Amino acid sequence: MYSDIMAAGSKQRPRMLLLGRYAQWQSHFLRYVDRKSNKKEMKKCIIDGPYLMTEVIIPAKPATTTQEAVPKHTIPETYWNTSLKKYTYIDVEAEAIHMTLTGIGDDIYSTVDACTTAKEM
């Protein structure tokens, strides 16, 4: 009966992780991720870790009659100045953490509660 409870709802959420059965759970979990619309970004986030912000290069602009010249420089990358492609990858981290936490029981939750990324979990 316990295994029936753990497998219940596996179409809507990942199966529950049982102690000592990580390899099987990982396989089920990644197959569950494959059914998501953003599976490519989610798998990359889970396997490679979260997107790390870098620096954005601002190209130089020559002076015009109304504006001064702007030299080439770099600024820290933020959520607001990153590319649209990276938005999805940044946003998927929260979903990956939520899905992972949904698939573990209370006894295992305390072990991974301190993790801050899906990859650490």
Per-10-residue mean pLDDT of the chain, 121 residues long, equals 46 62 77 86 86 87 88 89 83 83 70 72 65
- pLDDT for the residue 17: 66
What is the dihedral sign for C-alpha 42, 35, 33, 96?
A: positive
Residues 6+ apart with CB under 8 A from 82: 53, 56, 90
Give CA 96 to chain center in angstroms: 5
- pLDDT for the residue 1: 39
- Hey, is 20 helix, strand or coil? coil
Query: Structure tokens of 45?
Result: 């986030």
> What whole-number distance in Å separates Cα of residue 27 and Cα of residue 49?
18
- pLDDT for the residue 46: 85
- pLDDT for the residue 5: 41
Domain residue ranges of the chain, discontinuous segments joined by +: 37-112
> What whole-number distance in Å separates Cα of residue 54 and Cα of residue 60?
19
